[in-house]
């Protein structure tokens, strides 16, 4: 496959960036998108140019680092995959591929395609945990029965990898899907009840402080989320907030 890449290049957080065109050839359909980026970078290094900076770590869809907005969609045209899991067979020979960083004021660009998602960490720190002393008094898991349906929903919510595709996709740069997944994960389980009120209030407050937009229920996040996090989590978070404030 021969492709034309149009990639956002930005020297650092302060410099303005621009789209730069790079032709690339001999790309195989079985390659992942990041392998294709590696090949491009090898070529750039050989030519003595600056390689394209992008985040990645696990390359198997679990770390959530590989933030790229590919051809107008977060993580590209495939569904339920991260950029590292996106195969080049999703593209046609001769195609032009636009590659941009995830964009939101709350996710400032660090360099090229790398963005700072520290806002998500700060939201987690505001309440995405349970305070249990686990040293020495670990309880048998089966002594706390949890309905299967609840356990399943909590597990589904817990699959959120914090990639930020929901924010990148949302026309309002809203972080509601992410925050609601984190709130739901605990709200559904008995262990999460002790801090339930503080958790939802503090996490939502932090989300607002970080400057994410308001949810308008377009549902774009749910479609683009690589883990299929459901909009039901947002409804649950809204219920939790009403309960906590009432």
Partner 1 sequence: MSKSKFTTIGRKILMALSGFFLMFFLLQHLTINMLSVVSPDMFNEVSQFMGTNPVVQFALQPVLIFAVFFHFIMGIVLELQNRSARSVKYAYSKPGTNSSWISRNMIVTGLVVLAFLGLHFYDFWVHEMTVKYAGGDMTGLINPNDPNSGYRYYEELVMKFEDPIRVIIYIISFVLLALHLMHGFQSSFQSVGVSKGKNFIKKFGNAFAIVVPLGFIFIAIYHHLQH
Q: In 43-68, which positions are buried (b, 16+ CB within 10 angstroms) versus exposed (e)?
A: eeeeeeeeebbbbbeebebbbbbbbb
CA angle 239, 159, 115 (to 5 degrees): 95
- 19 contacts ligand FES (rule: CB under 6 A): no
- Nearest-angstrom CA–CA distance, 221 and 4: 28
Q: Which does 181 bind (CB under 5 to 8 A by kind): ligand FES, ligand SF4, partner 1, none?
A: ligand SF4
Q: Which one, of 64, 62, 59, lies nearest residue 84 by Cα?
A: 59
Of 55-63, 142-150, 156-164, 202-210, the window that binds partner 1 (rule: CB under 8 A) is 202-210
Which residue's CB is nearer to partner 1, number 88 or number 223?
A: 223
Question: In the complex, which residues of this chain contact ligand HEM (CB under 6 A)?
Answer: 214, 216-217
- Nearest-angstrom CA–CA distance, 225 and 221: 6
Q: Which does 174 bind (CB under 5 to 8 A by kind): partner 1, ligand FES, ligand SF4, none?
A: partner 1
Determine which residue in the list 33, 102, 178, 186 makes contact with ligand SF4, applying CB under 6 A: 178
One character per residue 16-35, x = contact with partner 1 (rule: CB under 8 A): ---x----------------
- 70 contacts ligand SF4 (rule: CB under 6 A): no
Q: Which does 65 bind (CB under 5 to 8 A by kind): ligand SF4, ligand FES, partner 1, none?
A: ligand FES
- 182 contacts ligand FES (rule: CB under 6 A): no
- 82 contacts ligand FES (rule: CB under 6 A): yes
How far lies 127's CA from each of 75, 204, 227, 242, 245, in Å?
A: 28, 9, 22, 17, 16
Asked if residues 174 and 215 have their Cβ atoms less than 8 Å apart, the reply is yes
- 87 contacts ligand FES (rule: CB under 6 A): no
Q: Which one, of 227, 219, 58, lies nearest residue 159 by Cα?
A: 227
Residues in the chain: 246
Determine which residue in the list 64, 101, 162, 164 makes contact with ligand FES, applying CB under 6 A: 64
How far lies 9's CA from each of 5, 105, 113, 213, in Å?
A: 12, 17, 7, 26
Enumerate binding residues for ligand FES (CB under 6 A).
56-59, 61-66, 82-84
Enumerate binding residues for ligand SF4 (CB under 6 A).
160-166, 177-178, 181, 225-227, 229
């Amino acid at each position: 496959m021969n492709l034309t890449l149009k990639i956002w290049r930005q020297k650092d957080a302060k410099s303005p960036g621009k789209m730069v065109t790079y032709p690339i050839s001999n790309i195989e359909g079985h390659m992942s998108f990041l392998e294709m980026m590696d090949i491009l970078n090898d070529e750039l290094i050989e030519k003595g140019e600056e390689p394209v900076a992008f985040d990645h770590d696990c390359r198997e869809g679990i770390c959530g680092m590989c933030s790229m907005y590919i051809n107008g969609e977060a993580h590209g045209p495939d569904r339920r995959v991260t950029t590292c899991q996106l195969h080049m067979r999703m593209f046609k020979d001769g195609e032009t591929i636009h590659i941009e960083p995830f964009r939101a004021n709350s996710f400032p660009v660090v360099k090229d395609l790398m963005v700072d998602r520290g806002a998500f960490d700060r939201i987690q720190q505001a309440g995405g945990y349970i305070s249990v002393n686990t040293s020495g008094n670990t309880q048998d898991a089966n002594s706390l029965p949890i309905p299967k349906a609840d356990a399943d929903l909590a597990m589904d919510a817990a699959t959120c990898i914090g990639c930020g595709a929901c924010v990148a996709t949302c026309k309002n740069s809203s972080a509601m899907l992410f925050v609601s997944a984190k709130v739901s994960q605990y709200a559904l389980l008995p262990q999460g009840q002790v801090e339930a009120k503080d958790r939802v209030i503090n996490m939502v407050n932090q989300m607002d402080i970080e400057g994410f937009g308001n949810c308008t229920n377009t549902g774009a996040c749910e479609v683009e989320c690589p883990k299929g996090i459901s909009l039901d989590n947002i409804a649950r978070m809204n219920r939790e907030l009403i309960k906590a404030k009432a």
